[in-house]
Amino acid sequence: MKKITVAIDGYSSCGKSTFAKILADYAGYVYVDTGAMYRAIALYVLTHCPSQDSAERTEWIKHNLTDDIPLTGLGDTIRTLEVGNLASQVAVIPEVRHFLVRKQQQMGLAGGVVMDGRDIGTVVFPKAELKIFLTARPEVRAMRRFKELEGKGTPQPFEDVLRDVNDRDYRDTHREESPLRQAEDAIVLDNSDMEIPEQVTYLTKLLDEAVAKKNA
Ligand code: DC
């Protein structure tokens, strides 16, 4: 049975990683969370860069992009608002993107991966057999993040979370290097008013169809 590549892109807090994990489990594929890789670089900057100035940080990271940066196994340390915010700032640096995109392409060389991010269907795997673009209204996404932070015992005011969602959307869609945008051949799913099981049914059906097409 030939394996396919699944690209899941979309805005922050749309459930990309939830569905990517479910689809990977369902198909027996490898799940790759590319946002975690950008977050890992952000965490590395926060803990190693001597400067807090944005321009100096950019120069510093350009000169310190090596395989010494741990990209996996960082757990919840990369799941804070601070790291998420800095991740979307380091993600505008072309050198950072090239460094990570190369690694992501290597991880998916053999197919059989479900990768989630912002540029998977457009840049990392433009030939992915199944591309899904997730979106939802900003207020809905902010409420999901708000509840998540509350559940983790690190609550933040809703207004701050909403502002953060809007700032991130803006940065992710307006950066020069591979901005977040929908691939022309992506299937768009607005899940503002959908529950998880309904989406899982829909997405697994899409996956089954794409695999069947590949093996026809
Ligand atoms: O999906 P996430 O919230 O963990 O991603 C953190 C940031 O990383 C996000 O604001 C934008 C950036 N990112 C990116 O630019 N490209 C990707 N493929 C994945 C994430």
Name the strand (E) or helix (H) holding 33: strand 30-33
Report the pLDDT averaged over residues 112-141.
97
Q: How confident is the model at residue 178 (pLDDT cuts 50, 70, 90)?
A: confident
**Which of 85, 88, 134, 167 to mutate for ligand 1's pocket (most ligand atoms within 8 Å of CB)?**
88
Task: Give the pLDDT confidence score for residue 80 in this predicted structure.
Answer: 86
pTM here is 0.93
Q: Could you tell me the distance, in angstroms and rounded to a whole number, from the CA of residue 38 to the centre of ligand 1?
A: 6
Longest dimension (CA), the chain: 56
Q: Whose CA is nearest to atom 9 of ligand 1?
A: 88
Task: Count CA atoms closer than 13 A to 6's CA, side-chain side.
Answer: 32
Residue 154 has pLDDT above 90, yes or no: no
What confidence score (pLDDT) does residue 174 get?
93
Residues in the ligand 1 pocket, defined by CB under 6 Å: 12, 34-35, 38-39, 84, 87-88, 91, 117-119, 168, 172
Which of 8, 13, 34 to probe ligand 1 with, by most ligand atoms within 8 A of CB? 34
- pLDDT tens for 1-46 read 999 999 999 998 999 999 999 999 999 999 999 999 999 999 999 9
Structure token digits, residue 212: 């069947």
